[in-house]
């Protein structure tokens, strides 16, 4: 596998995390704002329908108990009615006051629950953001290292090709000098200019032969 083929990792986000965050965050804030779901609304409500049902059942129980007691004692008329009214009034007052206290405690409970839900969602979001930031920093560092490795590899390739070109040009110059040897009494004539260039412009003719050095270098570099 080449360096270019190396794929940087991507951050994985649990879909359940996103789903619960999307539900809990607005849910907790709604509770703090007093938008209580119907299922839990009676917790902080004074005189809720559930309480009124219980109160009516308590009144019937008191009425039945007073009626039976008055009958056993043969108490009739206004005395019986007075006793029944007092019994129902006492139980109603006691239950309504307790219901009021319960509603206050229920509101405190709902506030605490909404606060806990909101803080939990916020902390989870902060933790998620911190983890993603750390991952992104690591991925950026890996990306920079990859680019550095690619640049180093390219520099090595360029250096290799430069050395090859120098070697080829040197070999071509030597061959040209050898070709001139019969006309110079056996002495080789150096004809090299800068690396990759022949003084004669890339084409030279020696001893009846023509050498296209640029074509030779191109063919070698693209093999």
Residues 198 and 192 sit within 8 Å (Cβ to Cβ): yes
In the structure, what pLDDT confidence band is assigned to residue 191 with cuts at 50, 70 and 90? very low
Looking at the DSSP assignment, which residues form a beta bridge with residue 192?
Answer: 198
178: pLDDT strictly greater than 60: no
Does pTM surpass 0.85? Answer: no
Nearest to residue 194, comparing CAs of 160, 156, 166, 158? 166
Per domain, the residue ranges of the chain are 3-150, 157-221
Residues 71 and 83 sit within 8 Å (Cβ to Cβ): no
Average pLDDT over residues 140-151: 83
Nearest to residue 204, comparing CAs of 184, 174, 163? 174
Average pLDDT over residues 32-59: 91
Lowest-pLDDT range of 4-8, 128-132, 173-177, 214-218:
214-218
Which pLDDT does position 70 carry in this prediction?
A: 82
113: pLDDT strictly greater than 90: yes
Which pLDDT does position 51 carry in this prediction?
A: 93
Which pLDDT does position 192 carry in this prediction?
A: 44
If one counts every other C-beta atom within 10 angstroms of the C-beta of residue 168, the result is 18
Provide, rounded to the nearest whole percent, the portion of the chain with pLDDT above 70: 74
In the structure, what pLDDT confidence band is assigned to residue 151 with cuts at 50, 70 and 90? confident
In order of 56, 60, 77, 222, the CA distances from 81 in angstroms are 18, 14, 7, 117
In order of 34, 60, 186, the CA distances from 213 in angstroms are 88, 118, 23
Q: What is the residue-averaged pLDDT of the chain?
A: 78
CA–CA separation, 139 vs 132, rounded Å? 10
Torsion from C-alpha of 57, 60, 64, 70, nearest 10 degrees: 130
In order of 44, 45, 105, the CA distances from 96 in angstroms are 14, 12, 14
Which pLDDT does position 59 carry in this prediction?
A: 92
144: pLDDT strictly greater than 60: yes
207: pLDDT strictly greater than 50: no
Which pLDDT does position 182 carry in this prediction?
A: 55
């Amino acid at each position: 596998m080449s360096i270019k083929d190396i794929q940087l990792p991507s951050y994985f986000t649990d879909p359940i995390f996103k789903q619960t965050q999307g539900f809990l965050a607005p849910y907790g804030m709604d509770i703090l704002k007093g938008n209580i779901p119907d299922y839990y609304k009676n917790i902080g409500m004074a005189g809720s329908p559930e309480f009124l049902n219980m109160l009516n059942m308590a009144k019937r129980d008191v009425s039945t108990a007073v009626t039976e007691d008055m009958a056993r004692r043969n108490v009739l008329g206004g005395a019986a009615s007075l006793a029944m009214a007092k019994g129902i009034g006492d139980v109603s007052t006691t239950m309504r006051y307790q219901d009021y206290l319960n509603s206050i405690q229920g509101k405190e409970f709902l506030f605490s629950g909404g606060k806990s839900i909101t803080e939990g969602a916020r902390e989870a979001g902060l933790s998620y953001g911190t983890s993603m930031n750390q991952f992104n920093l690591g991925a950026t560092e890996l990306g920079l290292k990859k680019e550095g490795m690619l640049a180093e590899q390219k520099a090595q390739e360029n250096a290799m090709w430069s050395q090859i070109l120098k070697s080829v040009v040197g070999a071509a110059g030597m061959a040209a000098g050898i070709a001139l040897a019969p006309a110079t009494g056996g002495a080789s004539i150096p004809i090299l200019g800068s690396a990759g260039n022949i003084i004669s412009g890339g084409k030279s003719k020696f001893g009846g032969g023509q050498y296209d050095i640029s074509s030779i270098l191109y063919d070698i570099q693209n093999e």
